[in-house]
Structures are given as C-alpha cells and as structure tokens.
Amino acid sequence: MITRILILLILCVAGAVDAFACRGEAIRQGRYDPLIGDRALTFVVFTPSTASPGMPGWRCGREHVLNPEMAKTQFSPFSTFKIANAVIALETAVADGPAFALQYDPARDPKRDWWPEDWAQDHTLASAFKNSVVWYYRELARRIGEERYRSALAKFHYGNKDISGGVDQFWLSSSLKVSPGEQILFLAALFRGGLGASERTLAALDYISQIESADGYSLHGKTSAGPIDRADSDDPLLAFKGRFGGWLVGWVIGPDKKRAYFALYTEGPDFASIKTFRQDMARRLLVDHDYLPPSFAPKP
C-alpha cells in the first residue's frame, strides 16, 4: 500500500530556489521492478494548488514521487533544455513563433553518420522540437548569446545555471545540470506566470510540445538522452557507447484545464535500454496514478 509521507520535492541548490514541502505520495518502486530491470529511475509529478506564484502555498498540491533522493540529484538536461531554449528564443525575439525557420547549412553543421535522416534539412522551431534537431537549437543558441542565457537561467532558477561548457552546447553532457525536482519547479513557475513569459510564448510552447491528445487530455513534453561519461575522443560515434541517461519532461492538461507537471529521468547500460522506456514508463506512471486516462497507457 502506498504510504503517505511528508517529502521535500526539491532541496535548495546553493540557495537558488525554495523547497517544496508538501504532503505527497511515495510511489512504491517494487511494483515496477520487473519493468525497470537494470535501469536507475526517478519520477516526479506535481499538480500545484490554486494559489498563484508569490502567494503562500502555491508550491503545494497533489504530487507523487518515485525515488525521491534521485529526484534531488542534478543531471545534464540534454534535449529537455529545448523547452527552456524555445522560451528564451521566443521571449528575446530570436524566434517569432512555431513556424520560425532556419536553413540547414552543411558547412556549419556537417551531417554525421549517426544523424537521423530528417535532421539534414531546413527546420522550423516546431519541427526541430518534435524531431530533436540538435543543429537547429545550437544555431538558436548562438543567436541568443551568453549574456541573455545568463540572465534567463538566473531568472528561471534553472539548475546550476552553468553555461561554461560553450554557448551552443552547455546543455549537452556538459556544464549545465538540473534535477528532476528543479525541472518541475521551472515548468510550474513558467505556466503559472511566475517567470513573466507572454501568453503568446506559452501558447507556442503548448503547440510545439504536444505528444498526444485524447479523451479531453493532452500530453506534452520533450524526450532527451545522452552519454553519462562522454568518450574522450573526436569520434562522435564513441559518445554513444556505454551508459546513457534519458528524460521525458513535460505536462498534462486535463479536461478542467489544470496542469500536472512531470519529470522522468532514467539511466541504463546503453541507449537502446532507455530509448522507448522513457516515454513508456512515464505514460504508465501517469496512468496508474490518475493523471492520464487508460487510453494513454503504453501499447503492449
């Protein structure tokens, strides 16, 4: 039986963010051990109270957490940073909406053997988000620039806020680190008006991030993955050998328009072990704990 416990959803990280201190439910991991196998896994899902950011109690609400200690640990966000990256690009007018297009330049970003077929072509903000096109968001990052990133990440309280790994790659197995709990805090503050993003930006983010819509619910989010210990080599293929970390970070919008924010992080022995597991496991946990209806359950 799931036991109700008082949990800290997020620990303060260098004093940068306040802690959640709400009553939640622990998810009993043993129930899912056959699915988890030899992977490490943490999952947090949170529906805030009706209070607004800045009002007492807005960080409280309904929440479930699996492996709370791991949920406080910071990891590379990999491509889940595309959520924040899209917000920053839209708010700084580097991009003007989901249809904002960039031409693919093979001289700037040579095609790699490991690239998916749909990367080496022109993309929009929406198509690059959906297909996780790294070159597109690296070019956005160059246009945004270090100064605007430092300002935005400080405002967002986004993880360790460290962009020292390079303006176009600090989120890719590099200097930027964020915990699952901090991902939740960022999303909740973003959509509840605490970060000052415009309604136009939030509507664009909802549009480009939608994974599925059915039965009055919509599931939004971004998957990502990357090597845990990047190989010390100029050969990019070597970076895909060994243990991998992966995310699905996003939100659910219910028929009542209330949002539940979630973050799943997992580690496995290789990319194949987490490739489909990330979304399948997140869907299973969201359905099992009544954040999504059964129609969203992973297919057998």
Can you give the pLDDT at residue 59? Answer: 62
Q: Of the residues 79, 179, 209, 224, which is catalytic?
A: 79
Can you give the pLDDT at residue 145? Answer: 98
- 């950011």: which residue's tokens? 53
User: What mean pLDDT value characterizes the chain?
Assistant: 88
Can you give the pLDDT at residue 110? Answer: 93
Can you give the pLDDT at residue 205? Answer: 98
Alpha carbon 92 to its chain's center = 21
Q: Taking the CB of residue 31, how many other CB atoms lie within 10 A of it?
A: 12
| pLDDT tens per residue across span 25-62 | 899 999 999 999 999 999 999 998 765 555 555 567 88
Q: What is the mean pLDDT of residues 247-260?
A: 97
Name the H helices within 37-133.
68-71, 81-91, 125-130
**How far is the C-alpha of 32 from the C-alpha of 49, rounded, in Å?**
28
| pLDDT tens per residue across span 111-132 | 988 899 999 999 999 999 999 9
Model confidence at 24, pLDDT cuts 50, 70, 90, reads: confident
Model confidence at 108, pLDDT cuts 50, 70, 90, reads: very high
The residue type of 38 is D
Q: Per DSSP, what are the bridge partners of residue 48?
A: 61
Task: Give the SS3 label for residue 155.
Answer: helix
Q: Taking the CB of residue 292, how many other CB atoms lie within 10 A of it?
A: 26
**Tokens for 111?**
């095609």
- What is the reported pTM? 0.89
Query: Does residue 254 contact residue 248 with C-beta atoms inside 8 Å?
Result: no
- In the chain, the percentage of residues whose pLDDT exceeds 70 is 85
* Residue 21 pLDDT exceeds 90: no
> Comparing C-alpha atoms, which of 11, 57, 17, 37 is closest to residue 192?
57
Tell me which DSSP letter residue 236 carries: G
* Residue 16 pLDDT exceeds 60: no
Is 79 annotated as catalytic?
Answer: yes
